[in-house]
Amino acid sequence: MRSFFILLVSVFILCSLTIQAQQNDEQMLKRIHDEALAHGQAYGWLETLCRNYPGRIAGSDIYIKAAEHTLSLVKTIRNVNGYLQECEANYWDRGDKEEAHIKAADGTKSPLNVLALGNSVRTPENGITAEIIEVHTLDEVQRLGREKIEGKIVFYNRPMNPTFVETFEAYGDAVDQRTRGPYEAAQYGAVAAMVRSVSLFQSDYPHTGVTGYRDTIHRIPAIAISTNDANRLSKLLSEQKVEGYIKTNCHMVGPRYAPNVIGEIKGSTHPDEIILVGGHLDSWDNTAGAHDDGAGVVQSIEVLRILTEIGYKPKRTIRCVLFSNEENGLAGGKEYARVSNENNEFHLFAIESDAGGFTPRGFVFEADKEVLRPYMEKLSQWEPLLENYGLLFKEGYSGADVHPLLSQKGLLGGLMPDSQRYFEIHHAANDTIDKVNPRELELGAAAMASLIYLIDQHGLK
């Protein structure tokens, strides 16, 4: 009877403690959101970043200034140790603005809104003039073969599929034209490539992005053209032969200093377990990079600020990392992981925000196969808490900068914002501060701070 009584009391105490812990978590999440929504700093920081450090491609002078600026910002937060992490990135320089036009059968010329693709080679001094051939897939280029492709400008014109509700799926479905299309066309003797901007919207803005060559021989100049121009050109091509002219001035300069920016709060009881929150500091050279990825940068710093401001003392080390060179080389993410592995670090959790500063809809998680199940089970207990804020969990790719940490067998995550507007501004000159809503941006920071709080407080075991 007595042992039964002891059991009963133990169960009661255990239940009370669990309920108490849950209430504490609820209150902490509320405090995090209140701080973000009532006193958020992320939007103001983003305004400054966009205004003073636009076009901060890795290796450029403005990138280094942006790194120094964000480092000083990180250091304004109490108890944060801020420093630059040495890193070299291949600097690609656009040179003078590119030009392109098309010439109809009757000789009429009309200019195109274009941008050289990132990492692309330049045209000869007097440009490239050749007949344009429209294709829709890389397979089509193979099928057409050297006979049809040789000596031509290959025009990839498969639009993003609008019927994907999640627009990143549509991006994944269309982006091979840009990343691999020029190289593929070069295999069959194309002299240049023009790629329809990977955007879901009709506009005059060309959207750049990286392209890749797999060898040193098949490197042809490659440009993005606006969706409006792509439609216009396609219509013309359906009626007649069209000649294209392309002149680009870009070239790969080579390795340059392009540091990662790091700010960390040392953990009180498990300092060796690192929780990372990050975004990438570099942007394309043609844009202020407000959503891509200024948003992720300021949200990551804001996570440190919010946790500090509400007086939270983390058990684990919380580290904010602003990565270099995500756009055209991933040098920052790779170097960060290399150094981390060299130092035998363990990242219990690393989350990246690189999908825009829109209303957060949840998180995506990945981990090494061995450890994913137990992590997801542990996470699932917090789903009800985060559902209160409209946040859901799913499995999938975390993000390009944190992915190299996979081998440490911690949990990797990505913030998953509403994706409808992202491909209106992605890699284009209209990715500006006025496209960002302060509350949406702050809610993303609060979402990450909430999850980081829970993982720091309760671990992942």
Q: What is the binding site for a second copy (CB under 8 A)?
A: 33-34, 37-38, 162-163, 165, 167, 200-201, 359, 361, 389-390, 418, 420-421, 424, 437-440, 443
Q: Which is nearer to a second copy, 276 or 425 (CB)?
A: 425
Q: Give the residue with the Cβ less far from a second copy, 33 or 94.
A: 33
Going by C-alpha positions, the residue among 172, 184, 253 that lies closest to residue 212 is: 184
Residue entry with tokens 């990138």: 63
Backbone angles phi, psi at 162, to 5 degrees: -70, -10
Amino acid at site 391: L
Task: Between 43 and 323, name the residue whose CB sits nearer to a second copy.
Answer: 43
CB of 243 to a second copy, least distance (A): 33
Of 149 and 364, the one with the shorter C-beta distance to a second copy is: 364
Beta-sheet pairing, 316-323 with 270-280: parallel
User: Is 90 or 203 the residue whose CB approaches a second copy more closely?
Assistant: 203
The 10 Å Cβ neighbour count of residue 99 is: 16
Residue 1 is which amino acid?
M
User: CB of 36: closest distance to a second copy in angstroms?
Assistant: 9
Least Å distance, CB 326 to a second copy, is 25
**Shortest Å distance, C-beta 44 to a second copy:** 12
The minimum distance between CB 362 and a second copy, in angstroms, equals 9
1 vs 165, beta carbon nearer a second copy? 165
Select 102 or 230, whichever has its Cβ closest to a second copy: 230
Q: Could you tell me the smallest distance in angstroms from the CB atom of residue 385 to a second copy?
A: 13
72 or 388: CB nearest a second copy: 388
Please report how close the Cβ of residue 286 comes to a second copy at its closest, in angstroms: 22
Residue 47 Cβ, how far from a second copy at the closest point, in Å? 13
Q: Are strands 153-156 and 192-196 parallel, antiparallel or unpaired?
A: parallel
